Amino acid sequence: MESLKGKTALITGAGKGIGREVALGLAKEGVKLGLLSTSPVQLLDIENELKTLGYSISIVTADITDIHSVILAVDKIEEELGAIDIFINNMDATIAGPFYEFDPVTSENNLKMNRLGFYYLTQAVMPSMMLKSTGDIITISSKGKLMDSDAVYNSYPLPESILEEAMRHNIRYKSFTAEDVKSFNFSATEDLVDNTLQFHLAEYVITQLKQFGGLNLQDSVLTSSNPI
């Protein structure tokens, strides 16, 4: 497996849950962390914790539906920590309740965050990865299994044209859900709110990064959803 030490990762939604576990796990691997949020409040605890332990960390806020705001945030992280090697998208805006009761404004805002936000962030981090001809882009879903109907509200997947462009520059793309922790002997129906399951999903994602990171392979398994 490849060492992740010295790499720089951009993580969204790192203030709690799976994103927090991934951030803590990557910090222990020696990865420099850029944590992005629409609000800094939820990131204060993890920022203080990681800085107290001596880890390299940069906190930024951005309106991820505004490409200019995203570019400024990514530029700030790269100025402070170096070029981004790993982008982990864990910012999944969801709506609870029956579809026919969805508020149109809330639905539109969530679509913008999940789709446009992910695309803008991907567009902002790709140039640095392309220059080095390597990089990893990962999305994480809190759902046990991604259904076709979820595609409307979730940031899955990258269009095939973008995947092909990424592959030409040895940039790997993967998406993970709770289904991927089956290898850790967890039930696929277990609630992902459980802290133990969150930890194991984060552990699984980091293991995959160490296993595939840096490989110069043009293999579809590295650019597909739930590849293992």
As a whole number of angstroms, the distance between CA 135 and CA 123 comes to 13
- Strand stretches in the chain, DSSP E: 8-12, 32-37, 57-61, 86-89, 135-140, 171-176
* Cβ proximity of 179 and 197 under 8 Å: no
Whose tokens are 């203080």? That residue is: 48
> What residues contact 188, with CB distance under 8 A and at least 6 apart?
144, 145, 178, 179, 182
Active site residue 156: yes
Catalytic residue (one of 120, 156, 173, 204) = 156
The tokens describing 24, both together, are 């803590």
Residue in this structure with the two tokens 């296993």, named with its chain if needed: 211
Contacts of 58 (CB under 8 A, 6+ apart): 32, 33, 34, 35, 76, 77, 80, 81
Query: Which sequence positions are flagged as catalytic?
Result: 156
